[in-house]
Amino acid sequence: MMTRASSAVPSAPGVPSRRAAHALVAMVVALVSFVAVTSTDSNPVAAARDWHVAPWGNDASDGTWANPHRTISHAVKAARSGDKVVIAGGTYSESVQVYNKAVHIESRPGQRAVLDGNNRLAWGIYLNRAHGSSLTNITVRNYATPASKMAAIRVYSNNVEVSGVHATENHRIGLSAIGSNITVSDGRFVRNGHLGVHGHELWNFRIERSAVRSNNTRGYDPFHSAGGMKFTNSLGIAVIDNDVSHNAGPGIWTDLYTVYVTIGKNLVQSNQRAGIEIELSSFVNVVSNVALDNGEAGIWILESQQVSVYHNASFGNPNAIEVEEGPRRNVDRVRIRNNTMGAAAPGSRALLDVNDWTEQRSAAQMRVTVDRNAYWVGPDSATNNISRWGVWPNYPAFSTTLSSHRQVTGAGPDATFSTANDNPFARSVGSFDYRVPSSMDVVGELPGATAKMIGVAPTADLRVGPVAPVVRRG
């Protein structure tokens, strides 16, 4: 038996608290101060030129394509702000720093330059106050990065574009970013020792269409720092249309007072811990992701506030969606709407698990609301529980039927429940199309700003579950 869902999606989260506002002001002041004391190359402006590098080059040459340099470092040193360093395909074993000027480093069209540390050099590329620089179509691999150097690629600059860059098999982090207005697109951050991507004190950072897979190969602590990608103490993060899978830790992780975040249209699969972990963060939209077969929750909201979880699919995880309050910070205003979930893995308490592990506050006191979700408890589900709902000072309430779930959680009548043998809420599991069948009813639309972030028209009529298929990226 199946009931259909229909109604509108609520508006986006509201105004920050006074504490959050003060934190944002402090972050903005710090970032403005950082920009004020870091200027680009102060030499007189000259016409930009290209500096060419090739394995057959010579650093004593003039750097033209006919007479290229041999090393990237030499070309970068010669370049002025606005110049381009064009690298022929081949392997280069060096560390390259761009300091206090804007340089555009890219592979020659149709070719790919590879910086190889040979498991000996400490780091590959360091954009150090190199505001306005860019990296395009370059591979950085096999760097024996110590903790003091953080990552094989460090982007510690503002207004930087990183496109088509691969960071693979480095000892610690693939790419680390600090700064404002940084965009990473079409990248590949795979089999790094600690994290694929790291961000700290960011202001307006976006990563899209990238593969962040199989990281933490060296077994760093997945409970505090290691996994796929992690962002801390940042303002304005967008993680859109990526494949974040098979990492030994959480897949996508925000922590330590990261605010204004959108995580949308990602595939998060088979990560050792949660697929998406929102920890100590605020004003977060988690929308239209597909979370499959992760070791903990598909989507885990921990000690966070003003979080909207809309139109996701979460299957094969111990808990599909989990909201947890702890001793560090109260949970407040978490909205869980229009998601599909089911196929609970062993260790599950319920598909939807909302609780305070300090046993002090109820889900109602946390202001967690749920509605218009679709639940599937099939024959192979590890639990029959639709929800576990914190009602302290009493023990959490478990619901195995839609009626009891509504009674305990306060959910409205617009929800869907199925015990079918096969997943009724996916069009094509093999092609990662977890949109529900077109026969299901329309439920409403996304808030305008969130819709724009993931490329959906704000006026679009949407059904429960993801708004589009997700993509497996190589």
Quote the pLDDT of residue 158: 98
Quote the pLDDT of residue 13: 40
Q: Is the dihedral of CA 236, 168, 125, 198 positive or negative?
A: positive
Task: Round to the nearest angstrom and report the end-to-end CA distance of the chain.
Answer: 40
Locate tokens 């004190």: which residue?
201
Quote the pLDDT of residue 172: 98
144: phi then psi, degrees, rounded to nearest 5: -90, 65
Concatenating the DSSP letter of every residue in 267-284 gives EEES-SS-SEEEES-EEE
H-type alpha helices, 323-427: 363-366, 402-409
Quote the pLDDT of residue 452: 79
Quote the pLDDT of residue 45: 53
| Token code pair at residue 128 | 């150090």
Q: Which residues pair with 328 in a beta bridge?
A: none
Taking only the tens place, the pLDDT of each residue in 137-154 is 999 999 999 999 999 999
Quote the pLDDT of residue 458: 75
CB distance 253 to 228 below 8 Å: yes
Quote the pLDDT of residue 46: 63
CB distance 337 to 9 below 8 Å: yes
Concatenating the DSSP letter of every residue in 422-437 gives S-TT-SBGGGTB-PPP
Quote the pLDDT of residue 2: 38
Length of the chain measured in residues: 474
CB distance 375 to 341 below 8 Å: yes
Mean pLDDT per 10-residue interval, the chain, length 474 residues: 34 42 44 41 66 98 97 98 98 98 98 98 98 98 96 98 98 98 98 98 98 98 96 98 98 97 97 98 97 98 97 97 96 96 96 96 97 94 96 95 94 90 94 92 77 78 90 90
Domains of the chain: 18-39+82-453 (2.160.20.10)
Q: How many CA atoms lie within 13 A of 427 on its CB side?
A: 18
Q: Calculate the dihedral angle through the C-alpha atoms of 391, 19, 277, 151, rounding to the nearest 10 degrees.
A: -160
Quote the pLDDT of residue 439: 85
